[in-house]
Structure 1
């Protein structure tokens, strides 16, 4: 069951990453808060591209690094925490982005972070660590 959940999570990350680099790239720039560009000294497009590349790498790492799955899972969970300010910004500003065109969808998206993090940690936790 955990293996299937891990593969699904990997597929989700890769698909999200590809969307950041292709069809959704322009729309995702809207979710990047202005303070992030100042803090990282770059533009919104670069943040979207970098986050997409990271999502693809993390998704791939979940599959190709089984011996490090607990460590990779912790990194994926941290990534989900790191992108939360962008989700909050999008909700507060009411800006539409790919798949987030209504206030309700943007609000619900905020609460999906917790299950994503839990899913990540559960599916990547070693059975030895669980005992």
Structure 2
């Protein structure tokens, strides 16, 4: 079961990463907190492209580095935690994206992020 869920997560990560790079770049830009671009010398599109590349690499690593799966799972969990402020910013700034066009939908999405963290950790344990 863990192997199946790990591969499912890997596929989801690669798909999400590709969507960052191609068809959903504008949507993902709505999740980049203004603070990030105020502090770092990068624009929102650069953040989206970089995070997409990281998602593709982490998704691939879940499959092609079986001996490192615990480490990759921990890194992926940390990545999910690191991008959580973007979800909070989207909710607080009331930015519609991905069909999240109400406060209730944006807030409900916040509860999904801890599940992703747990999924990454659980699916990569022996």
Shorter-chain TM band: over 0.9
Which segments of 5 or more consecutive residues in structure 1 lack a partner in the other structure?
A: 127-131
More moved, 50-59 vs 32-41: 32-41
> What TM-score does the superposition give when structure 1 sets the normalisation length?
0.92
Task: Tell me the residue number matched to 1:90.
Answer: 90
Q: Please list, as runs of the form range in 1=range in 2, the aligned pairs for 1:1-131 lying within 5 A after superposition.
A: 1-126=1-126
Which segments of 5 or more consecutive residues in structure 2 lack a partner in the other structure?
A: none
> What TM-score does the superposition give when structure 2 sets the normalisation length?
0.95
Is the partner of 1:23 in helix, strand or coil? coil
* Paired residue total: 126
- Per-residue deviation, residues 57-114 of structure 1 (Å, max 9, x unmatched): 1000000000000000000000000000000000011111124333222111111011
RMSD of the alignment, in Å?
1.0
1:38 Cα offset (Å): 2.3
Is the partner of 1:31 in helix, strand or coil? coil
More moved, 83-92 vs 108-117: 108-117
1:29/1:104 CA distance change after superposition, 3 Å = same
